[in-house]
Structure 1
Amino acid sequence: MILSVASGKGGTGKTTVAVNLAAVSEEIQFLDCDVEEPNAHIFLKPSLTFSQSVSIRVPEIDEERCSLCGECSIFCSFNALAVTKNGIMLFEELCKGCGGCSLVCPENAIRERERPLGVIEGGRFDGGEFLHGKLIPGEPFATPIIRELKRRIDGKADLVIIDSPPGVACPMINSVFGSDFALLVTEPTPFGLFDLSLAVSVLRELEIPMGVVINKAEDERMIEEFCEREGIPVLMKIPFSREIAELYSEGELLVREERWKEKFEELITRVRDLA
């Protein structure tokens, strides 16, 4: 089973839920796909044994061959190439690495070179295999690293937990795509409710069954009423607690306490029943 833990916005407690689920499971595979801000390793404390660079291929123009015909810039939907009477300009930060410009160039003036985006790292933690990605600061495209992480999903694993990036943009969609179930972690605020509704819409479009975890639960009626209207089960509530916040800030797991260990074990059981 592939279980994604996602949220419509940052700061809801998504990683808290993901790492505590991992800590009560055995011989699983854990993927931290929040490659802009990976932090699951702080809690699961894996022993990392390998690192692999991730790059995309971007164009390199042979100016002696280039006739400035403009076919490459016409083809590029992302405006990574601009042709003027004085030459051709490449904005490589906009390039998605599709290779189309080199295919349409009538002069064969475009070669490709590797442009590093980040790394993926992996190893073992107490519960199984651990993988995460790290995007180079300032790079705008996280999805190539997420795709490389997901290529390493073990199809024989009993449980794969994916810690998705927050939001509902391309990184989140790439992370949750193909999941058997998704847990949406939210908080009982107007912003939390709005972003939860966006995430629900995305998962329905992808036809992924889902449940909700309410974090910082204090007055959660607005979330419960929304979930009831939408037919989405609320599977867990985590209270608004200074003790929990302190544990998180120290990189500690909730499940070190028996009562939370039991709650997260029950959550896994309920997810399996619904998936």
Structure 2
Amino acid sequence: MSYRIAIASGKGGTGKTSVSVTLFKRLNESRDESVLLVDCDVEEPNDLIFFSEAETIDEQEISQLIPHINQEKCSYCRKCVEYCEFNAIVVLPTVPYAEINSSLCHSCGACLVACDDAAITEHPKPIGTITMYETTGNSRLAEGRLKVGSTMQTMLIRALKKKVYDLNDITIYDAPPGTSCPVVETIHDADYVILVTEPTLFGLHDLKLMVALIKELGMPFGVVINKVGLGDDSVHDYLKNEQIELLGELPFDRAYASLYAKGEITHKIPEEIYQSYTGIIDVLNRKIMHYEGDNHSKW
């Protein structure tokens, strides 16, 4: 059974991807188990940038079943319109006209149940791809890549997670930024969530939104503060007042930022940054061992 770690942030630009990629590398170095990094930011997947040596081992196209109305069979009763929770169906009996908006359709199948005329059939429409890569050693990277123009992020993330579920001993989900449905889909079944923030008022504001979401889901979590040395102490004060676990602090470092911009953070890590991650890894290792010794139950 896989131990799943989700890495998320209330806003973009806090360093969520750099934390995901570096923890993936460090966990591979510190543990014997296989580790899988899953890039669930399907609109802008960029974890692969940091693994120039990665080789594609599997690729799969993911499709959404979109209903189609056969107007020769349709009686224009509008029952399907009443069943549709997403307002994706337009039926105008006086014209007559019947159409389904594929951009709004969520493929729930309610319209097929509603139709008494057998006028609705489903047809596949590609929404993106899932690709599996082999990096170094016993580690792998998986990513979802949404087709341009598609709005089905959550559906693609669900398919991506289903494909990799329990494939490895440790799985890291790199979540999209924010607190929307794709984020919830990514993190909801994780065993532990790491929230990445920055010591600014913007960082604090969006961290509070993320903490509220995590508490609503009832999930164990901790916080990593990135870019320490910028901003102020408001995030530290908030964590202390709310008794939220601080997993570690990553100092702001121009050399590290330069390595990130070149896609080289998996090759060279400044010593101070390396030691910061060592502390975070120690905490995670204890949590993983606790989980393994607790018969795979959530704490």
Same fold by TM-score greater than 0.5:
yes
1:175 maps to which of 186, 197, 204: 186
Structure 2 residue aligned with 1:120: 130
Unmatched runs of 5 consecutive residues or more in structure 2: 29-33, 289-299
Residues 25 and 266, structure 2, Cα contact 8 Å, conserved in 1: no
The separation in 2 between residues aligned to 1:240 and 1:51, in whole angstroms, is 37
How far off is 1:262 after superposition?
A: 3.6
1:10-89 matches, within 5 Å, as: 10-26=12-28, 27-45=34-52, 46-84=54-92, 85-86=94-95, 87-89=97-99
The separation in 2 between residues aligned to 1:236 and 1:32, in whole angstroms, is 22
Unmatched runs of 5 consecutive residues or more in structure 1: none
How far off is 1:13 after superposition?
A: 0.5
Q: Write the deviation string for residues 109-151 of structure 1: whole angstroms up to 9, x where unpaired.
A: 0000001100000021115121000001221120111111111
* Local SS of the residue matching 1:165: coil
How far off is 1:56 after superposition?
A: 1.1
The separation in 2 between residues aligned to 1:254 and 1:51, in whole angstroms, is 24
1:254-265 matches, within 5 Å, as: 256-257=268-269, 259=271, 260-265=273-278
1:118-267 matches, within 5 Å, as: 118-126=128-136, 128-155=139-166, 157-218=168-229, 219-253=231-265, 256-257=268-269, 259=271, 260-267=273-280
The separation in 2 between residues aligned to 1:153 and 1:266, in whole angstroms, is 28
Question: CA 1:157–1:247 in 2, change beyond 3 Å: closer, same or farther?
Answer: same
Q: What is the number of residues matched between the two proteins?
A: 275
Root mean square deviation, CA, Å = 1.6
Residues 24 and 261, structure 1, Cα contact 8 Å, conserved in 2: no
Question: CA 1:109–1:4 in 2, change beyond 3 Å: closer, same or farther?
Answer: same
Q: Write the deviation string for residues 45-85 of structure 1: whole angstroms up to 9, x where unpaired.
A: 32112210111111111110001110111111111101112
Residues 247 and 280, structure 2, Cα contact 8 Å, conserved in 1: yes
Residues 29 and 154, structure 1, Cα contact 8 Å, conserved in 2: no
Q: Write the deviation string for residues 231-262 of structure 1: whole angstroms up to 9, x where unpaired.
A: 11222222233222211110011662362334
The separation in 2 between residues aligned to 1:70 and 1:42, in whole angstroms, is 49
How far off is 1:23 after superposition?
A: 1.0
Residues 256 and 269, structure 2, Cα contact 8 Å, conserved in 1: no
* Local SS of the residue matching 2:116: coil
Amino acid aligned to 1:212: V
Amino acid aligned to 2:109: G
User: Which consecutive segments of 4 or more residues in structure 1 shift more than 4 A?
Assistant: none
Q: TM-score, normalised by structure 2?
A: 0.87
The separation in 1 between residues aligned to 2:167 and 2:263, in whole angstroms, is 30
Amino acid aligned to 1:82: V
The separation in 2 between residues aligned to 1:15 and 1:103, in whole angstroms, is 42
How far off is 1:156 after superposition?
A: 6.2
